[in-house]
Amino acid sequence: MESNKNSLTVMKFGGSCLQNKDSYLQINSIVYKYMKSTKILIVVSAIQGMTNKLIEFYEKSCSEENNCDDLIEEIYNMHILLVNDILDKNRMEYSETVEFLQTNIEELKQLGRLIRLIRPSADIYDLIVSYGEKLSTFLLSKYLTSQGHKSNYLFSDKIILTNDNFGRALPLLEETEILVNEILYPLLLKDNNNLICVSGYYGATKDNKISTLGRGGSDLSAAILAYALRNHFQCKIIYWKDVKGFLNADPRISKKSSLIRKISYKEAKELAFFGAKVLHPLCLDVNEKGGLQSEIRFFNEPDSEDFTTITNEITKNDDVIKAITSIEKLSMVTLESDTMVPLSGTAAKLFSLLGENNINIVFISQSSSENNITFGIEYEDSKKVSFLLRNSDFFGEKWFKIKLDSDISLVAIIGAGILYTPGIAGKVFTSLGDNNINILAIAQGSSELNFTAIIDRKNCEKAVNVLYDAFITQ
């Protein structure tokens, strides 16, 4: 088949696709199949479990008592086992990869020591966790070369620019597009069968510090690159996953969950934001902005007709409710004022304080009382928010009571048209109530695509299943 020069498929392989010899063989066969009809750009995550290990390494390195040599050895072993499994010892790629691994492990060791000398900081955290993707990208590229491809690799700090919100950096799309055009685009033009593996998850700030895009950020890396190349190619993105696509509930919670074949970016964003952790929520935003089509496909069955296509179109059908999602670990903050401090000004002060400190507000609740504000934040931000409020000139004053509840979950029903469908709220209340699940707060998303209930964490799994039966199984 003649290769179509105008088509580019950006493929993102997550940790579940980078586990053992069989998974690398699978990548190889997917690449062979697709390259007959399209150019391919591969975005690579860290190998399975590696980002968690690197975070553990960072945290342990921060506390002086710990000796992290065991962890470093574990990180080395996880990689070398894979290298020995997938690369032939007699080939050049093997020795190149082992050498690269050893050099980088040595660097990591030094960084661990450095943290003990200087203060721990978010930029060192990002630098350390980025080694997962750096190593896996080099390895995949060498593996593909050993399988007969002309494969090259490129580290993403050379082409993806971000702001300096370390740990959850935001891409600077325009600046990135310029770099991608200068550096990546010529590489893609060079040769039809040329493969390029780019590291996912991280980029760099304007002053050249490594910055990560938040957990699950490789999905976003793929979106950023496709966005930057959209004017040169007909771009499509395929996210290869360990599920068939977007399901109408988290398969780990609901055994009945089934595939959504077609979904709009608007709805998919809502799903991802409210806990369907299958794609990074921002990657959907970037895909939507670029007018890019994307697919989620099952890595173990690459030829299957069962997959999800995500486009700009909202599909009209009779099912108003597309999916049930949940965020298991959240915290809820209630600010109460006995005196009547005008709430409009209070809310403005509150949200700018949180915004300036990069706190993500997951929901704002409609409150029955006029003098309190309730909002949800990520569990990990609890301590920071509590500190910010208690130390703020305004909220730290004695007329506010601050209540923090870190034992809550959010369940949401998602679908276009929820707002205009009568009876949804009532059905949520009765189905949860009939099952003895107490609703602590409700929130209607601004986007009119979701209805959200806040409940005790112990009820989270049960609530998803109850709502699934009420709205989807029927």
Binding site for ligand ADP (CB under 6 A): 14-16, 45, 216, 241-243, 246-247, 249-252, 276-278
CB burial class (10 A; 0-12, 13-18, 19+) of residue 322?
A: buried
Return the residues of window 279-298 that contact ligand ASP according to CB under 6 A.
none
CA dihedral 246, 47, 67, 64 (to 10 degrees): -50
Q: Binding partner of residue 215 among ligand ASP, ligand ADP, Mg ion, none, CB under 5 to 8 Å per kind?
A: ligand ASP
Residue of the chain from 132, 216, 376, 445 that contacts Mg ion (CB under 5 A): 216
Q: How far is the CB of 374 from ligand ADP (least distance, A)?
A: 26
Residue 277 touches ligand ASP, criterion: CB under 6 A: no
Name which of 217 and 290 has its Cβ closer to ligand ADP. Answer: 217
Residue 218 touches ligand ASP, criterion: CB under 6 A: yes
Distance CA 28, CA 20 (A): 13
Name which of 51 and 346 has its Cβ closer to ligand ASP. Answer: 51
Q: How far is the CB of 14 from Mg ion (least distance, A)?
A: 5
Q: How far is the CB of 299 from ligand ADP (least distance, A)?
A: 9
Residue of the chain from 30, 31, 46, 279 that contacts ligand ASP (CB under 6 A): 46
Q: Single out the segment in contact with ligand ASP by CB under 6 A; choices: 173-181, 215-223, 269-277, 361-369.
A: 215-223
Residue of the chain from 200, 281, 290, 445 that contacts ligand ASP (CB under 6 A): 200
Residue 203 touches ligand ASP, criterion: CB under 6 A: no
Q: How far is the CB of 125 from ligand ASP (least distance, A)?
A: 13
Q: What is the 3-state secondary structure (H, E, C) of the chain?
A: CCCCCCEEEEEEECHHHCCCHHHHHHHHHHHHHHCCCCEEEEEECCCCCHHHHHHHHHHHHHCCCCCCHHHHHHHHHHHHHHHHHHCCCCCHHHHHHHHHHHHHHHHHHHHHHHHHHCCCCHHHHHHHHHHHHHHHHHHHHHHHHHCCCEEEEECHHHCCEECCCCCCCCECHHHHHHHHHHHHHHHHHHCCCEEEEEECCEEECCCCCEEECCCCHHHHHHHHHHHHHCCCCEEEEEEEECCCCCECCCCCCCCCCCECCEEEHHHHHHHHHCCCCCCCHHHHHHHHHCCCEEEEEECCCCCCCCCEEEECCCCCCCCCCCEEEEEEEEEEEEEEECCCCCHHHHHHHHHHHHHHCCCCEEEEECCCCCCEEEEEEEHHHHHHHHHHHHCCCCCCCCCEEEEEEEEEEEEEEECCCHHHCCCHHHHHHHHHHHCCCCEEEEEECCCCCEEEEEEEHHHHHHHHHHHHHHHHHC
Q: How far is the CB of 201 from ligand ASP (least distance, A)?
A: 4
Residue of the chain from 132, 203, 281, 415 that contacts ligand ASP (CB under 6 A): 132
Residue 211 touches ligand ASP, criterion: CB under 6 A: no
Name which of 215 and 261 has its Cβ closer to ligand ASP. Answer: 215
Pair 427, 278: CB distance under 8 Å = no
Return the residues of window 302-341 that contact ligand ASP according to CB under 6 A.
none
Residue 14 touches ligand ASP, criterion: CB under 6 A: yes
Pair 124, 111: CB distance under 8 Å = yes
Q: How far is the CB of 27 from ligand ADP (least distance, A)?
A: 13
Q: Single out the segment in contact with ligand ASP by CB under 6 A; choices: 96-104, 155-163, 216-224, 243-251.
A: 216-224
Q: Binding partner of residue 242 among Mg ion, ligand ASP, ligand ADP, none, CB under 5 to 8 Å per kind?
A: ligand ADP
Q: How far is the CB of 23 from Mg ion (least distance, A)?
A: 15
Total residues at interface with Mg ion (CB under 5 A) = 1
Q: How far is the CB of 266 from Mg ion (least distance, A)?
A: 21
Q: Single out the segment in contact with ligand ASP by CB under 6 A; choices: 33-41, 64-72, 213-221, 378-386.
A: 213-221
Q: Binding partner of residue 334 among Mg ion, ligand ASP, ligand ADP, none, CB under 5 to 8 Å per kind?
A: none
| Chain positions contacting ligand ASP, by CB under 6 A | 14-15, 45-46, 51, 132, 200-201, 215-219
| Chain positions contacting Mg ion, by CB under 5 A | 216
